[in-house]
Structure 1
C-alpha cells in the first residue's frame, strides 16, 4: 500500500518521519518530494478562466461614486453644469481609485510576499503493508498533513 500526503514545509514533516520510523516503517520506504515555487509573478488582471479573488476596481468604484456626487454638487455653481462635472468627478475618482489599488497590489503586496517568504508544499509517499495503512494515515494527520490518499 502506498500513502500520498501533502505537508507545509515545516518541522512537522521531520516529526512525522521520526514517528513513522519508530512505528517500524523503514527510511527507504519514505519518499519526500518538494514542489517548486512559482517563478513568474502573479497576474494582476483576471481572465475568463482564472480569477485570484482580488478586485482592482473596488476602491475605484467607491471613489468614482463619491467624486461624482461632489462634482455634481459643485457643478451647479460652475460653468459647465452638474452633469459634466459629475462625469468629470466620476472619471477622476475612478482613475484615482484604480491607481491606488494598482499601487497596493504591485508594490506593497509584492514586498509582503518577499518578506514573508513563500515556501512550497512537500509531498510524502510512504510505502507500507496493508495492515499499517491506518496507523500511517493517523500519524500523517497528527503531524498536520493537508491531505492523505491511499493506493493499494
Structure 2
C-alpha cells in the first residue's frame, strides 16, 4: 500500500520522516519529491479561457460611477454641460481606479509574496504494508500534513 502526503517545507517534515523511520519504515520505502517553484510572474490580464479571480477593473468601475455623478453635477455650471463632463469624469475615475489596482498588485502584493517566502510543497510517498497504514497516516497528520491519501497496490 502507498500513502501520499503533501507538506510545506518545514521542520515538521523532518520530524515526520524521522518518526516514520523510528516506527520501522525503511528509508528505501520513503520517497520524497519537492515541487518546483513558479519561475515566471503570473499574468496580470485574464483571457477568455483562464481567470484567476483577481479583478483589476472593479475599483475602476466604482470610481467611474462616483466621478461621473460628481462630474455631471458640476457639469451643469460648466460650458459643455452635464453629459460631456459626466463622461469625461467617468473615464478619469476608471483610469484612476485601474492604475491604483495595478499598483497594488504589481508593487504591494509582490513585496508581500517575496517577504512571505512562499516555497513549493513537498510530496512524500510511503510504501508500507496494510498493518502500518493507520500508524503512518496518523504520523503524517500529527506532523501537519496538508493532505494525505492512500492507494492500494494491485497484486500481480
Which structure 2 residue ranges, 5 or more long, are not aligned?
A: none
**Equivalent in the alignment of 2:102:** 102
Q: What stretches of structure 1 of length at least 5 have no aligned partner?
A: none
- Residue 91 of structure 1: aligned partner: 91
Cα-to-partner distance string for 1:99-139 (whole Å, 9 max, x where unaligned): 11111111121122112212000000111111111111111
SS at match of 1:44: coil
Deviations 1:41-92 (CA, angstroms, capped at 9, x unpaired): 0111112232222110111011101110110010000011001100101010
Match of 1:120?
Answer: 120
Matched, 1:74 2:74: yes
Spell out the pairing of 1:1-152 with structure 2 (5 A cutoff). 1-152=1-152
- Helix, strand or coil for the counterpart of 2:60? helix
Instruction: Report SS of the residue matched to 1:126.
Output: strand
Per the alignment, in what secondary structure is the counterpart of residue 38 of structure 1? coil
Q: Deviation at 1:5?
A: 0.8
Cα distance in 2 between the residues matched to 1:72 and 1:20: 70
Distance in 2 separating the partners of 1:125 and 1:64: 53
Q: TM-score, normalised by structure 1?
A: 0.95
Aligned residues: CA RMSD: 1.1
